[in-house]
Amino acid sequence: MTQAPLSAGSREEPTAFTAWRALGMLIQLVVTDPGQLDAARDLLTEDLTELDLTCSRFRDDSELVALGDAAREATAPVTVTVSPLLAQAIAVALSAASVTDGDVDPTVGGVLCALGYDRDFGQVPATGPALPGGVGFRVIPGWRSIKLDPVTRRLTVPPGVQLDLGATVKGWAADLSAARIAEKLGCGVLVSLGGDTSVAGEPPDGGWRIRVQDVTGMPDQPSSGPSTVVAIRDGGLATSSTTARRWQRGGDVLHHILDPRTGLPAAPVWRTVSVAAASCADANTAATAAVIRGRQAPAWLASLGLPARLVEPDGTVLTVAGWPADPE
């Protein structure tokens, strides 16, 4: 996701902003009450620590990795009781798979690893030798193979499956944290996790102004590639990109958004797709699915009434469903 919060309107009381790196991504936090910034950062840090220990694909002691280890050693489906947080995260991922007809599928983790994305992206070598067997078709178990009882939190996964929640977990986590901070501190809040942006509470005058661009960055830095500024008052904003996380193996250029039907990176019809929705989780789901759907994406997003901005590889911008046109 690729957004940067900008100055947020003309309040008598200015907003307060802070940013830091954690979990391999840029974290950005804005509050409408400067006196609450430290408390808001403490709350967000607590949430991120719990999220990492539960849902990370890259730390050996996370609950998600333990689940993958058990499945990898199994010869039959594995059933375990998972924590409330992991149960919620998986439920969100399965819901995203359902509403996108499987475009956004949490069972792609094993294939991502096989293609080289097997550690925090900052540690993935930018180039490397060709993959054994190339990057041809690789089997993805499919989201329907995952069974979750939301009451008992009993989760059943097929042997060998490795879940990846990256397409949904950041947006969902941003929604949870923004809502919790706003409720506890009584101020307007913007939370951006790697660019996946959620807002809660009373917005500043004129709404939250956000710069949408190719690569997530700080608001005081110039944008890279085509960019625009939009304002939102509630919900969330997310961007999926085929340019932000790329690596090369042999002669193959890869990126992190996989088409579950082929096990290959989605065709780069769009360099970025940005979507505004009622929640950041919904926006992220729609943006990722749009990248996978390629040329069918504009009509699909318009049919859902989701304002979106789609950028072609050459920088040509297409907007749908009320997303404002880029300035000349």
How does 187-222 read in b/e, with b if 16+ C-beta sit within 10 Å?
A: bbbbbbbbbbbbbbbebbeeebbbbbbbbbbebeee
Q: State residue 133's pLDDT score.
A: 76
Range in 13-27, 60-74, 191-205, 302-316 the model is least confident about: 13-27
Q: Amino acid identity, residue 140? A: I
Provide the residue ranges of all domains of the chain, joining segments of one domain with +.
61-157
Range in 68-72, 126-130, 172-176, 306-310 the model is least confident about: 126-130
Q: What is the mean pLDDT of residues 119-128?
A: 86
Q: Domain 61-157 falls in which CATH fold?
A: T-fold (1.10.3980)
Q: Which of 235, 197, 203 shows the shortest CA–CA distance to 216?
A: 197
**DSSP per-residue letters across 21-79:** EETTEEEEEEES-GGGHHHHHHHHHHHHHHHHHHH-SS-TTSHHHHHHHHHHH-SS-EE
Residue, of 136 and 9, whose pLDDT is higher: 136
The rounded distance, in Å, linking the Cα atoms of 66 and 69 is: 5
Structure token digits, residue 319:
């907007």
Task: Residue 93: count other Cβ atoms within 10 Å of its Cβ.
Answer: 28
The rounded distance, in Å, linking the Cα atoms of 150 and 226 is: 42
What are the backbone dihedrals phi and psi of residue 278, each rounded to the nearest 5 degrees, phi first? -65, -20
Q: Is it the case that residue 1 has pLDDT exceeding 50? A: no
Q: Structure pTM?
A: 0.91
**pLDDT tens-digit map of 225-245:** 678 899 999 999 999 998 888
Range in 127-136, 170-179, 287-296 the model is least confident about: 127-136
**pLDDT tens-digit map of 15-57:** 999 999 999 899 999 999 999 999 999 999 999 999 999 999 9
